[in-house]
Structure 1
Amino acid sequence: MTDADVQLLLDLRAIEQLKYRYLRTLDTKDWAAFEECFLPEATGDYNGLVFPDRAALVDYMRANLGEGMLTLHQVHHPEIEVDGDTATGRWYLQDRVVVAAFDFMLEGASFYEDRYVRTDAGWRVSHTGYQRTHEIHYRLSDQPHLKVTGPGVHKH
């Protein structure tokens, strides 16, 4: 195995860790750590919901994924290509959003298309976004035996 092969494996693993950190900090609402996943000039496009920079993206998530909103984002099947100090990644997303106060649950799937840049602090997201393949919406009250628990969950 050459030094270049080893470096590629290290880069792939670092990018995977970055994506997983992005999702963990999003779901745990750790906004400072979430922000650190991105370059300041990073852009986003979530199925047409467009963000021109990191500040706008993080502010939106902070404002709209607050108290009482449970989220689960899982990605798998990464397809990552590294080209020097830049990389692209495609990920298959499965997600769920539960808002007990609004009797609402969403389940969906998407394909993420990301771009990454190597910085002195490690790999960072320069663009993230996805295109939905499907969404399923439920009323929680239609699930008679469903019980929703978690931080900030308040049933009315």
Structure 2
Amino acid sequence: MSLSSSRDPEIQALLDKQAIQEVLVRYLRGADRADADLIRRCYHPDATEDHGGTYSGTASDYVDMITPNIGKAKVLSHAISNILIELESDSLAFSECYITTFGRCKKDGEYFDTLTLARAFDRFERRNSEWRIAARRMAWEWNHEMPVTENWGRGLIAPDPSVLVRGAKKPLDIIYQR
């Protein structure tokens, strides 16, 4: 008898949903920190990725494709919300979540800020006692671009922004300095 089958089904459902939510959040940490290994561990090795018109194929090839670009982003920040996880069985689940992304990009020599909302639809499978994404599909909701106006609340947040500890890519970010 497995440990999960000896638990109260409602408790096991909560544990499964928490494990899936942690995969979703870990994926976004990997994107923000340009940590390809962390992103890759969110998928099963044979997973597929349909990125809503920008890519369709294996998740592994998708991670290889995006890693150079996310590593170049001066600022990249993802926030996850509206997470809904539906457990179909002890080894199959479906999730929907909203992903809001802020990015500072450069095109034609000019920096601009971009804010985007997308939804991720994932099929999760538990294999070898571990939940990971088996298939992902994305749907794009909206995008807003604006000029760079970073001034830290007109000085109210940080009168001298040069002293701020800033987020960084792997391995320089504080999360890798435990």
Normalized against structure 2, the TM-score is what?
0.74
Structure 2: tracts of 5 or more residues without a match: 1-6, 153-160, 170-178
Percentage identity across aligned positions?
24
Partner of residue 129, structure 1: 137
CA spacing shift, 1:138–1:99, aligned 2, 3 Å: same
Matched, 1:112 2:120: yes
Matched length: 149
**For residues 144 and 87 of structure 1, what CA distance do their matches in structure 2 show?**
41
- Specify the structure having the higher radius of gyration (Cα): 2
Counterpart of 2:93 (choices 68, 87, 110) is: 87
TM-score (norm 1): 0.84
More strand by share: 1
Are the equivalent residues in 1 in contact too, given 2:73–2:103 (CA < 8 A)? Answer: no
Q: Report if aligned partners of 1:91, 1:111 keep a CA contact under 8 Å in 2.
A: yes
Dislocated runs of 4+, deviation >6 Å: none
Unaligned runs of 5+ in 1: none
Change (3 A) 1:47 1:7: same
CA–CA distance in structure 1, aligned partners of residues 34 and 129 of structure 2:
22
Matching of residues 1-156 of structure 1 within 5 Å = 3-84=8-89, 85-99=91-105, 102-120=110-128, 122-140=130-148, 143=149, 145=151, 151=168
One-letter amino acid matched to 1:124? R
Q: Secondary structure at the match of 1:103?
A: strand
Q: Matches of 2:11 and 2:138 in 1, distance apart?
A: 30
**Is the 8 Å Cα contact of residues 98 and 117 (structure 2) preserved in structure 1?**
yes
Q: Deviations over 1:88-118 (max 9, x none)?
A: 1011121111125641211011221111110
* Deviation of 1:67 (Å): 2.7
Q: Which has the higher contact order (CA 8 A, sep 6+)?
A: 1
Deviation at 1:79, TM superposition (A): 1.0
